[in-house]
Amino acid sequence: MASYDAYGTPTKPDSNCRTCTDFKSWSKQQRHIFQKATDKDAAKAGGDGGTKDTNMPREDCPLDKSRLGQSTWGLLHTMAAFYSDNPTDNQKKDVKTFFDVLSRLYPCEYCAQDFRKDLRENPVQVNSQKDFSQWLCQFHNRVNVKLGKPEFDCSKVNERWRDGWLDGSCD
């Protein structure tokens, strides 16, 4: 039985929560559930109950954990890339507040708990665009390590998220 936080969000990965599981696992589970229902309906109607199996989700489907993460990282890195070189006290406060709120409202509670823990151990650095972008890149790399993904070279963070690759491939 899943446990839930004050917002009704599962506090650990829930196999029924698409934002808490990878798409392949969730999709397989949903196909199995759908197939069972289709087989029952087909048996009642005397049909074969065949279904169309596709590996790629539609573009207009709810985000799974992977697509949610990619979209979130895209937003966060873009925010950092275009952050002020000399932020005002209000801008600094707003970014800190944004991260605090995001860590509490992120749809995958398991991810959100890890996010909050990391923020406590490594508070967001907001004194300049460079500080913020580097902090976020290092934060992202800590998550990548946990997920067994390769780390990104943080010296290239502005090339990746603000200026475009030096080879001109983004022009």
CATH number of the CATH domain containing 132 = 1.20.120.310
Strand partners, 4: 10
Q: Please, how many CA atoms are within 13 Å of residue 128, restricted to the half-sphere of its CB? A: 4
- Asked, for residue 134, whether it belongs to a domain, the answer is yes
In the structure encoding, which two tokens stand for residue 5, read together?
Answer: 């936080």
- Asked, for residue 88, whether it belongs to a domain, the answer is yes
Q: Coil, helix or strand for 10?
A: strand
Q: Which domain holds residue 96?
A: 71-161
Q: What percent of the chain has pLDDT over 90?
A: 62
pLDDT in tens, 50-104: 445 456 778 899 999 899 999 999 999 999 999 999 999 999 999 999 999 999 9
Closest CA to 83 of 126, 47, 121: 126
In the structure encoding, which two tokens stand for residue 15, read together?
Answer: 């196999």
Does the structure show a pLDDT above 80 at 141? yes
Alpha-carbon distance of 134 to 128, in angstroms, equals 10
- Asked, for residue 80, whether it belongs to a domain, the answer is yes
Number of domains the chain contains = 1
Alpha-carbon distance of 7 to 49, in angstroms, equals 39
- Asked, for residue 29, whether it belongs to a domain, the answer is no
> Given pLDDT bands bounded at 50, 70 and 90, which one contains residue 118?
very high
Give the alpha-carbon dihedral of 102, 106, 111, 114, to 10 degrees: 30
Model's pTM, two decimal places? 0.70
Average pLDDT, the chain: 82
Q: Coil, helix or strand for 131?
A: helix
DSSP state of 148: T
- Look at residue 9 in the predicted model and tell me its pLDDT: 47
- Asked, for residue 15, whether it belongs to a domain, the answer is no
Q: Which amino acid is present at 60?
A: D
Does the structure show a pLDDT above 60 at 15? no
- Asked, for residue 20, whether it belongs to a domain, the answer is no
Estimate to the nearest angstrom the gap between the alpha carbon of 79 and the chain centroid: 15
- Look at residue 49 in the predicted model and tell me its pLDDT: 45
- Of residues 16 and 157, the one with the higher pLDDT is 157
- Asked, for residue 62, whether it belongs to a domain, the answer is no
Alpha-carbon distance of 143 to 16, in angstroms, equals 23
Does the structure show a pLDDT above 50 at 129? yes
- Asked, for residue 57, whether it belongs to a domain, the answer is no
Alpha-carbon distance of 7 to 108, in angstroms, equals 12
